[in-house]
Structures are given as structure tokens and as C-alpha cells.
Chain A
């Protein structure tokens, strides 16, 4: 797998479908038949990640929504991205 950086772009595979319920997101991976839940913060990150830009673009979106140390936000975003890559809910473009 290519190294994950803030310049990486990710895509959501065709087999992955997300929907929001009460501010949380539930993601279904049709290939594995498994479901994943995201809390409201992770939901905002997912929305930004899945928007199609680079992770840097996603970070900029999330930074506008959260008054948190940008370095912390960056780490959180990269960690979530890594987790989702590992579970094949996204792939590197």
C-alpha cells in the first residue's frame, strides 16, 4: 500500500455505502456484508474525506468546523483514514 500522507486522495469503493442516522453514520460494505458505525465527529471527517479532494482538503473542511488544535485534528483525520483503509471502506486514489 502506498504511504498515506496529507496529500493522498482517497475514493470510496462502489461496494461501500454510507448513510446518516441521527448525526451518526453507518457504513455498509457490501463485499464483506459488514457494518461500521461512526460517531458525529467521525461522521464529519468521513464526509470531508469522501468529498473527493486530498486529505489536506478534508482537513481544511474539518478545521473550519472544529475549534481544535490543527495538529490534533490532523492526527485524528489520518488515524481515521488509516482505519478505514485497513477495513477497505476507502482506497487510495
Chain B
């Protein structure tokens, strides 16, 4: 079974999420509206828009799920109303502006599935003046958490697996955000609102926030928990908060601190976060007043290689590899006259060192053409 399909099964079987989007779309979408379903997946949000009376839905998705969405749409009798566009919304063009944009590109912490970038672009290019957004506001919440098992994922790297020293990896592990679920009693303070993102104006520029969390019980700070709530409409909210009784089935995030800190009721934990949405970078500075301070960043945890870095130097003079040259040939052969079969044949002829069979040439050509051809 396709893992992607399974992921969408989870989305669709999440009754809290489905109830929230069903109610919000029924509230926001009006008869004869034109709607953009951004990152459509199975097309469910577009179907809900049709049911709410939308005259036209543009379902935009770059993935192959779009073919499944087409079949589902047809099975439900809405294929005359939904137009499918198999592109990333950033690359898509629509023939008309829309009244409503609906999406669930919120991620686990409110920004990490690209909604800021996608909405900023779609608002500017596709939304009518006064148009509506679902969601229209996202709030990011944080709290210090007691989560020894999650922190063990960091310390694993100093446990000498198979008798070898993997300690260099710990620095990466300590600078990574981990998907996780918390029980409510793992929170050491009340959740603090980091920031509220108004999607009518938010951009994908970096932002930061700082909060102070008052510890409510003695325990151990292992890291900072992060999650979101989103206003899907005036009346409907959706959240993955560990404290919400209607929480959707979506994991939150754990940002570890370098070493556990024992705290008492009344201690203050200062948390400052800097977020660069387009690179999904988060920096978290955590200070337990009078006890310890930490700085972590997913930038430090990012896996970079010196070979890749060398290719970003301004004085680097790039040359094409043999496969790069071949790729250029495919692009040249896409001249608007030559059929695919001829391109494959020509590539097999030109690059016998790369392709031992017509099948191998066809796979290569398909890869290039599906990315850049139309």
C-alpha cells in the first residue's frame, strides 16, 4: 500500500479535523463562490467546498495524489465543478481569481508545512479583494515539558551503539525538533502564546517571539513543547494542543535542551524562538532563570556536507557531469516537434555509456520531461 495513501487515510479518518473543516467550510464558502483548494491531496476540502455551494473549485497539488483526487471527485459527481491543476501552487496559474482559499498546510507547529509561503503567494496572485482564507489565523504555543523518553533520543548517540563512538552525532540530535505527543501532565507550565499569525497579511519572512513560562510544579525540564491552534473560521478552531479535548490527531514538536534542568514551582523559564519559515529553521533559546541557559538551532542540526558546501562558493566553477550533459540533451530535444519515443531513441543512441537499454533511457527521459515538459 502506498505510504502517501496511508497518510491521507489518517487525515480523513481524523474525525476532529474533518469535523472542523466541514463546519468551517460550510460557514465560509457561499453559493457561487470560486474556491482554491491549495495542496489538495485527496481533494477533500474542495469536495466540502462543492457541498457548500461553490460554483468552481481549483484543486492544486503537485503530487500524484491528484489522480486519486480526480477519481474521487468523479465518484461524487462533482467533476463538472472541480478543475485539477497538477502543480505546486507557487508555479500554478489560474484563469480567474477566487473568493476563498482553503488549505491544511499548517504542519505540527503552525508554519512548518509551508502555509506562510503558499498563502502569501496565493493571496497576491489568486485571491479577490476581500476574499476569505481557511484558516485565517494561526497561533503558536510553547511550554517547558518533562519528556525523558524524548530526550533519550538525543542521548542515544553517546550510548556507544555496537561499541563505537557516535558522540559527534549528539550535536545534531540536540539541535533537531522531534515530532511527538504529550500527555497534559508533561507540561510544566501553562502554555504561553508565542505568536499569532494573521494569514491575511503574514509573509514568509523570518519572525521571532519571546515568552516567560512560570513553572507550576517541581519536575525536570527536558525541552520545549510546541503546537498550534488555527482559526478555520469565525466559529471554528482546530488544534493539536495536548490540553485540547477536541485535538486533532496530529503530533506536536519537542525541542530538546542540552541537559535536563530540575525546576521548582515558581521558577521562570524564558523561551525565545526565531523562525525562518522558508527554510523551516527554528532557533530556540531557553533560560531557566538562575539555573541554566541554552541555545539550539535546527540550523546547527541540519545535515550539511562539505562537498555540497563547496559547490556554493562564489568562486566555484561548475561543470556538467555526464548525466547533466544528457539532461541538457533531453531539454534540447523537447523542441515542440519531437515525440517522446524519438527522444528516448535518440538518447539511447547518443549516450550508450549511460543507458544499456531503451527502458533505461525511457526512465531518464520521463524523469526530465515530467519535471520540465508540458
Is A26 a contact of B300 with CB atoms below 8 Å?
A: no
In the assembled complex, the Cα of A22 lies from the Cα of B309 at a distance in Å of 9
In the assembled complex, the Cα of A81 lies from the Cα of B285 at a distance in Å of 26
Is B309 a contact of A28 with CB atoms below 8 Å?
A: no
Is B206 a contact of A15 with CB atoms below 8 Å?
A: yes
In the assembled complex, the Cα of A30 lies from the Cα of B208 at a distance in Å of 10
Binds A, one of B146-154, B271-279, B351-359: B271-279
Is A33 a contact of B279 with CB atoms below 8 Å?
A: yes
1/0 contact trace for A17-34 toward B, CB 8 Å? 101011110101011010
Is B272 a contact of A14 with CB atoms below 8 Å?
A: yes
B305 in the interface (beta carbon within 8 A): yes
- Distance (Å) between the CB of B312 and the closest chain A CB? 7
Is A15 a contact of B281 with CB atoms below 8 Å?
A: no
In the assembled complex, the Cα of A19 lies from the Cα of B300 at a distance in Å of 6
Selected from B276, B279, B285, B306, the residue in CB contact (under 8 A) with A21 is B306
In the assembled complex, the Cα of A35 lies from the Cα of B305 at a distance in Å of 15
In the assembled complex, the Cα of A23 lies from the Cα of B276 at a distance in Å of 25
Chain A residue total in the interface (Cβ 8 A): 15
Query: For A37, what are the chain B residues with a Cβ–Cβ distance below 8 Å?
Result: 309, 312-313
In the assembled complex, the Cα of A46 lies from the Cα of B205 at a distance in Å of 27
Contacts A14-B285, A15-B206; is A30 near B309 (CB within 8 Å)? no
Could you show 27 A-B contacts with beta carbons less than 8 Å apart? A14-B272, A14-B285, A15-B206, A15-B208, A15-B274, A17-B283, A17-B297, A17-B299, A19-B299, A21-B304, A21-B306, A21-B309, A22-B305, A22-B306, A22-B309, A23-B306, A24-B306, A24-B309, A28-B281, A30-B206, A30-B276, A30-B281, A31-B206, A33-B205, A33-B206, A35-B312, A37-B313
Apart from the given pairs A14-B272, A26-B304, 20 other A-B contacts in the complex at a CB distance below 8 Å:
A14-B274, A14-B285, A17-B283, A17-B297, A19-B299, A19-B304, A21-B304, A22-B309, A24-B306, A24-B309, A26-B309, A28-B276, A28-B281, A30-B206, A30-B276, A30-B283, A33-B276, A33-B278, A33-B279, A37-B313
